[in-house]
């Protein structure tokens, strides 16, 4: 009876509607009004509705503390810190290809990548450069948010992605007042910086075929954790990532496929000979 009724109820503003329109004095034949819908029910039915809505309100109010996609820094916060987060956060879903934030615009929030994969990219003198591919969970754009109030690069979803935008002043207060939180943020920034240095060094010294092999291995190991995955980039985007032309990428991928090092089935890529790809990456 309860489940059947609840399926028909629009739960928007459910708590306010419930508390405002339940007349407990009319028990045992009370009426519950939810979004202009009336149901007669006895005291047990009324109690069940109240418990359901109160519990749902508790879950909604505390969804950040229960979220399984938190980063290590947020895990250092005390339970009392999550209420101000709930009041100063907006979660937005993005489709593939949608801009999360854009280079040259004002930065007023810290973006946390809750789920999905994002490319960070910047306009150069001649063409666009993909700086990094980021997998959830991770913060996006902390250096540009705190180093300059203007976004110095763009972030774009390359798969369906969910972003939590956090008020920058609240985030700053956590850094000021919570040493463990600040330390974990610094560690994440340092790890990203070291990886960037390694990639830039490799890009300056490896041939393009070696960079392509390295990128495919990185996608397999660090992004998808599998030798078989749906490749999220176009050939043009892969070219922007490794620093070459789309024609060169097309030729290299065709050679890899012809030699059965990798196999494409539509957008799905399967690494068939990992040892060969590793050798090309190291010696390329």
**57: Cβ contacts below 8 Å, ≥ 6 apart:** 14, 15
Last residue of a domain, one of 201, 233, 262: 201
pLDDT in tens, 27-53: 333 333 333 444 444 444 444 444 443
Residues 6+ apart with CB under 8 A from 122: 103, 128, 129, 131, 152, 153, 154
Check residue 173 and give its pLDDT. 86
Residue 129 has pLDDT above 80, yes or no: yes
Q: What CATH code is carried by the domain that includes residue 271?
A: 1.10.10.10
Residues 57 and 98 in one domain: no
Is pTM, for the whole model, over 0.75? no
Residue found under tokens 């040493």? 179
Residue 47 to residue 59: CA distance in whole angstroms: 18
Are residues 74 and 170 located together in one domain of the fold?
A: yes
Specify the CATH number for the domain of residue 100: 2.60.120.10
Among residues 265, 263, 262, the alpha carbon closest in space to that of 277 is found at 262
Shared domain for 194 and 221, answered yes or no, is: no
Rounded mean pLDDT of 200-217? 89
Whole-number pLDDT of residue 236: 94
Average pLDDT, rounded, for the chain? 77
What is the arrangement of strands in the sheet containing 99-101, beginning at the earlier edge strand?
Answer: 99-101, 154-157, 117-123, 128-135
Please report which confidence band the pLDDT of residue 196 belongs to, taking 50, 70 and 90 as the band edges: confident
Rounded to whole angstroms, the Cα distance separating 23 from 32 reads 7
- Higher-pLDDT residue of 208 and 60 is 208
Count of domains forming the chain: 3
Residues 159 and 50 in one domain: no
Q: What is the β-pairing status of strands 138-140 and 109-115?
A: antiparallel
Query: Three-state DSSP class for 38?
Result: strand
Select from 170, 201, 232 the last residue of a domain: 201
- Tell me which of 61, 83, 109 is where a domain ends: 61
Question: Is pLDDT of 7 > 70?
Answer: no
- pLDDT value of position 76: 66
Percent of the chain at pLDDT above 70? 72
Taking only the tens place, the pLDDT of each residue in 135-194 is 999 889 888 888 888 899 999 999 999 999 988 888 888 888 888 888 888 888 888 888
In terms of residue numbers, what domain contains 89? 68-201
Q: Output 253 or 68, whichever has higher pLDDT.
A: 253
């Amino acid at each position: 009876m309860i489940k059947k009724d609840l399926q028909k109820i629009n739960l928007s503003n459910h708590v306010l509607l419930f508390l405002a329109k339940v007349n407990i004095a009319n028990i045992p034949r009370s009426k519950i009004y939810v979004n202009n819908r009336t149901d007669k029910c006895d005291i047990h039915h009324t109690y069940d509705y109240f418990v359901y809505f109160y519990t749902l309100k508790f879950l909604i109010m505390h969804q950040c503390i229960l979220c399984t996609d938190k980063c290590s820094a947020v895990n250092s916060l005390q339970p009392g810190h999550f209420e101000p987060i709930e009041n100063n956060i907006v979660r937005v879903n993005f489709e593939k290809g949608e801009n999360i934030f854009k280079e040259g615009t004002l930065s007023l929030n810290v973006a946390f990548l809750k789920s999905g994969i994002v490319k960070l990219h910047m306009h150069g003198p001649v063409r666009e450069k993909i700086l990094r591919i980021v997998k959830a969970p991770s913060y996006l754009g902390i250096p540009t948010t705190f180093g300059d109030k203007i976004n110095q690069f763009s972030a774009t979803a390359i798969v369906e992605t969910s972003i939590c935008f956090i008020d920058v002043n609240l985030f700053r207060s956590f850094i000021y007042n919570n040493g463990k939180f600040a330390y974990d943020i610094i560690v994440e920034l340092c790890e990203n910086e070291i990886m960037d240095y390694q990639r830039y060094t490799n890009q300056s010294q490896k041939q393009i075929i070696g960079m392509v092999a390295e990128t495919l291995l990185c996608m397999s190991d660090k992004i998808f954790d599998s030798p078989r995955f749906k490749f999220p980039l176009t050939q043009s985007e892969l070219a922007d990532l490794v620093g070459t032309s789309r024609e060169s990428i097309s030729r290299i991928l065709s050679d890899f496929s012809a030699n059965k090092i990798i196999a494409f089935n539509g957008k799905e890529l399967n690494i068939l000979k990992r040892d060969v790809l590793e050798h090309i990456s190291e010696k390329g």
